[in-house]
């Protein structure tokens, strides 16, 4: 493989330095630069002209999802691999629709990350196992669902046994907003409890 240049945009300094060291140890790979925010990266990344950008989705300031659009506009030939802690369906599809080529969780083994860099350079779309499963599951869902994306997402989290406060924390919304979404779900599905909502949604392949 020809020399592959990589830029890392990750606000966790320890993780950023670890990625840099491990990737630079691989023959044919070279981390040309690493940044703690998109704002810092935007000043130099065009000159870096990386083959691959490893981009944290939860950055301070401009988010990774927003940054993806800008990077693809300025560097259309660069491949972007998103890095995340959260496996949010909404985030996954927003990132992919903005031009990301791959989507990995940060707990992925370094061997998986290295393989993913190789894979995007060969035209592939690497994803963590759970992310790939989520994408496949989404395609299998009823496309005529009466539920919005957010309502579906919240109902899925409810079906996983998560409380209203847990859902609120993971989605960065307040608990009352979760409550409102759930009320809307109950009305749309003509049910009056969480258990009935989950049962009805599974029956109609809404989740």
Confidence of residue 3 (pLDDT cuts 50, 70, 90): confident
Q: What is the pLDDT of residues 80-109, one digit of tens each?
A: 999 988 767 778 878 888 899 999 988 889
Q: Has domain 142-203 been given CATH number 1.10.357.10?
A: no
The per-residue pLDDT for 50 is 98
Average pLDDT of 15-23? 95
- Token look-up 């630069």 returns 33
C-alpha 47/C-alpha 57 separation (Å) is: 22
Q: Could you tell me where in the chain the CATH 3.40.50.2300 domains are found?
A: 4-135
DSSP result, 129-161: HHHHHHHHHHHHS-TT-SS-HHHHHHHHHHHTT
What would the two tokens of residue 181 be?
Answer: 């979404």
**pLDDT at residue 1 tops 50:** no
- The architecture (CATH level 2) of 4-135 comes to 3-Layer(aba) Sandwich (3.40)
- Name the pTM for this structure: 0.65
Q: What is the pLDDT of residues 111-127, one digit of tens each?
A: 999 999 999 999 998 98
Q: Could you tell me where in the chain the CATH 1.10.10.10 domains are found?
A: 142-203
Q: What is the pLDDT of residues 165-174, one digit of tens each?
A: 999 999 999 9
**Do the Cβ atoms of 34 and 12 come closer than 8 Å?**
no
Q: What is the pLDDT of residues 29-59, one digit of tens each?
A: 999 999 999 999 999 999 999 999 999 999 9
Cβ neighbors of 202 (< 8 A, separation 6 or more) are: 159
Mean of pLDDT over the chain:
91
Average pLDDT of 189-198? 94
* Greatest Cα-to-Cα distance within the chain, rounded to the nearest angstrom: 60
The per-residue pLDDT for 142 is 64
Q: What is the pLDDT of residues 119-164, one digit of tens each?
A: 999 999 898 877 777 776 666 666 688 999 899 999 999 999 999 9
The per-residue pLDDT for 144 is 80
The per-residue pLDDT for 138 is 67
């Amino acid at each position: 493989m020809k020399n592959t240049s990589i830029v890392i945009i990750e606000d966790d300094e320890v993780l950023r330095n670890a990625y840099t060291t491990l990737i630079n140890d691989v023959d044919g790979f070279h981390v040309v630069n690493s940044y703690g925010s998109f704002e810092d990266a935007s000043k130099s990344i065009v000159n870096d002209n990386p083959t691959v950008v490893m981009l944290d989705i939860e950055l301070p300031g401009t988010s990774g999802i927003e940054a993806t659009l800008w990077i693809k506009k300025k560097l259309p030939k660069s491949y972007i691999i998103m890095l995340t802690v959260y496996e949010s369906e909404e985030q996954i599809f927003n990132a992919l629709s903005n031009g990301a080529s791959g989507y990995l969780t940060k707990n992925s083994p370094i061997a998986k990350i290295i393989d993913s860099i190789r894979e995007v350079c060969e035209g592939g779309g690497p994803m963590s196992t759970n992310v790939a499963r989520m994408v496949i599951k989404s395609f299998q869902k009823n496309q005529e669902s009466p539920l919005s994306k957010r309502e579906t997402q919240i109902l899925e989290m409810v079906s996983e046994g998560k409380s209203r406060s847990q859902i609120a924390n993971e989605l960065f919304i307040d608990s009352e907003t979760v409550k409102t979404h759930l009320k809307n779900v109950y009305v749309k599905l003509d049910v009056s409890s969480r258990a009935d909502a989950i049962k009805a949604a599974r029956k109609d392949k809404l989740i």
